Amino acid sequence: MKSSLPKVLHSVAGRPLLEHVVRAAQVLEPLAIHVVVGHGAEQVQAALADYPIRWVLQREQLGTGHAVLQAIPAVAESSTVLVLYGDVPLIGADTLRKLADKAGSAPALLTSMVDDPFGLGRIIRNDAGVLIEVVEEKDATEAQRRIGEVNTGVLAAPCSDLREYLPQVGSDNKQGEYYLPDILALAVKAGKTIESCEAASEVEVLGVNDRVQLNQVEREYQRRQAEALLREGVSIADINRLDIRGSLSCGEDVCIDVNVVFEGDVKLGDGVSIGPNCVLLNVRVGDGVSIHAMSHLEDADIGNDCSVGPYARLRPGTNMAKGARVGNFVETKKSNIGAGSKVNHLSYIGDCEMGEGVNIGAGTITCNYDGVNKSKTEIGDGSFVGSNSTLVAPVEIGEGGFVGAGSTVTKAVGKDELAVSRARQKNIQGWQRPSKNTGE
């Protein structure tokens, strides 16, 4: 990966590769999940601290067989062990369940048919089509290298078999490693029949070993999510220009334009329209909302029939009631914007409690920070704040209050009062317009 970050912590759809694998395993409701770690163990453990994982340290990286051997002492004798890989994030729970079901009395292997098997272990079968061993690329003959069925590495086996066969696995190969698939030949020698099942697709078992494969897996994951949304009735302008890095739920008649990114937990109501190049992070959007181009919403709650953007930024703690509007080049933070209120352009609204039917003129700023503390601005129902006004918190504008354009408000404005705070205009007749200095 050419990175200081452990490979399994590189992300697909906003989650580490390993987290995708653990989540797939959890669907099977296992007795326990053991993760064998080596390089970057502390980083890996910290990144998945919220998961019920039993961590196993492999001090020396001596191959897959050696890795599994480190974990086996902590596994119940009667268990079926499913071996997964932290860099194979698209593996499906249905595939894993089928494989585990085949491992009742002998090991079972997940295989895949691939167009280019270079570098992968080949599946060797006898004349009856029964799997008898796996031969690694570097140890394979020329004829074996032409085989298109490969070992995915994903394996299920009775714990008792692993306890018996793993100590017998040797490292007499070109890699000098202990290969987990070598237990298959040992099981065959012991008279057992190896079962196998084939992965749903080649990409399901694609392991990530470089940035190219990471990108390939990312795009496949995003394509699957987009296609699922389409089947649920969501309109998507281009499935190749949509990224979901978390969870997204949509109501009916939702339209999503190009280059939209969803992060965290996002919920969209019925009839929501999202313009191009928007980012939504942990946002709830009500019915009938329009989010226009180039808008960025984070930890916000948008009520029904609201309008946001274009070029709006809603920071954490923004709540918009029914029919409210936040327009172009407006930034909000930790503010409640009442029903039908409008902040249409070029304004900053922070730490503000805004009532219903309020109109905020262009260029208005709530000055909520004095360099040490944050203070609140309260604006009553039906108030009007003229353009280019500065509201210095803490300050309150009463119901129906009116602030003249260009005012700096530092004191409370009562109900239905007009506040004007600006320098008196002076017009000078006969003044001389400046002329260019010619240097003479």
Indicate which residues carry an active-site annotation: 345
The token duo for 345 is 């352009």
**Pairwise CA distance, residues 96 & 130, whole Å:** 20
Both tokens assigned to 200:
């749903």
Q: Quick one: how many helices (H) and strands (E) in the chain?
A: 8, 38
Q: What distance in Å separates the CA atoms of residue 80 and residue 75, rounded to the nearest whole number?
A: 9
User: What's at 225, amino acid-wise?
Assistant: Q
**Longest alpha-carbon distance in the chain:** 112
Contact status, residue 73 vs residue 54, Cβ threshold 8 Å: no
- Beta strands (DSSP E) in 96-254 are 108-113, 122-125, 131-135, 149-158, 195-198, 235-236, 242-250
> d(Cα 140, Cα 93) in Å, to the nearest integer?
31
In the chain, the amino acid numbered 18 is L
Q: How far apart are CA 217 and CA 206, in angstroms?
A: 8
* Residue 33 to residue 10: CA distance in whole angstroms: 20
Residue type, 172: D
CA separation for the pair 98, 335 (Å, rounded): 51
Whole-angstrom distance, CA of residue 297 vs CA of residue 412: 31
What separation in angstroms does the CA of 348 have from each of 65, 225, 289, 305, 312? 60, 36, 21, 22, 10
Residue 322 sits at φ, ψ, to 5 deg, of: -50, 130
Which DSSP symbol is given to 374?
Answer: B
Q: Which two tokens stand for residue 238?
A: 């281009």
